[in-house]
């Protein structure tokens, strides 16, 4: 993950994003909230059965969609960072990298994911960033 400010790269972080069938949303999302610690339970996002999880005290959480996409510390995936995607859709990183990222971003900052499968829906946060100009004009007085 490349973190940039004003077009200048600040740092490159090794991450593990969503695995097959749980891919991280492609496209631009916006930082909706930040909390230093949160409990993540798969039932809240409709994941049950063998893929279910209940993680207490997940650190340095940056919320990107109302549907539950976060960038956060994921020390349980340490061997996967920069090598393989192994999450249920979140962007996981080391605890120290997650803390650094958490300290850098602000509410409203855009976060763009590339090379994934499906683009985040326009109604899943501030997904308007992912609408091309022609489609945008069709819903306005400009057309």
Q: Indicate if 72 belongs to the active site.
A: yes
Spatial distance between the Cα atoms of 70 and 16, rounded to a whole number of angstroms: 12
Number of Cβ within a 10 Å radius of residue 118: 10
Q: Indicate if 88 belongs to the active site.
A: no
Chain position carrying tokens 């997650």: 98
Spatial distance between the Cα atoms of 143 and 82, rounded to a whole number of angstroms: 44
Catalytic residue among 64, 90, 98, 113: 90
Catalytic residue among 25, 72, 92, 97: 72
- CB-CB contact of 86 with 46 (8 Å): no
Spatial distance between the Cα atoms of 26 and 11, rounded to a whole number of angstroms: 21
The set of catalytic residues is 72, 90
């Amino acid at each position: 993950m490349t973190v940039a400010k004003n077009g200048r790269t600040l740092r490159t972080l090794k991450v593990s994003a969503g695995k097959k069938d749980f891919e991280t949303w492609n496209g631009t999302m916006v930082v909706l909230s930040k909390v230093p610690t949160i409990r993540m339970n798969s039932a809240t996002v409709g994941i049950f059965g063998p893929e279910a999880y209940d993680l207490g005290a997940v650190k340095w959480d940056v919320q990107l969609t109302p549907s539950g996409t976060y960038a956060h510390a994921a020390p349980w995936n340490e061997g996967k960072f920069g090598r393989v995607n192994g999450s249920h859709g979140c962007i996981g990183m080391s605890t120290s990298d997650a803390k650094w990222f958490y300290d850098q971003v602000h509410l409203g900052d855009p976060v763009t994911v590339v090379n994934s499968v499906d683009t985040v829906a326009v109604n899943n946060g501030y997904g308007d960033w992912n609408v091309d100009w022609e489609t945008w004009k069709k819903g306005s007085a400009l057309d």
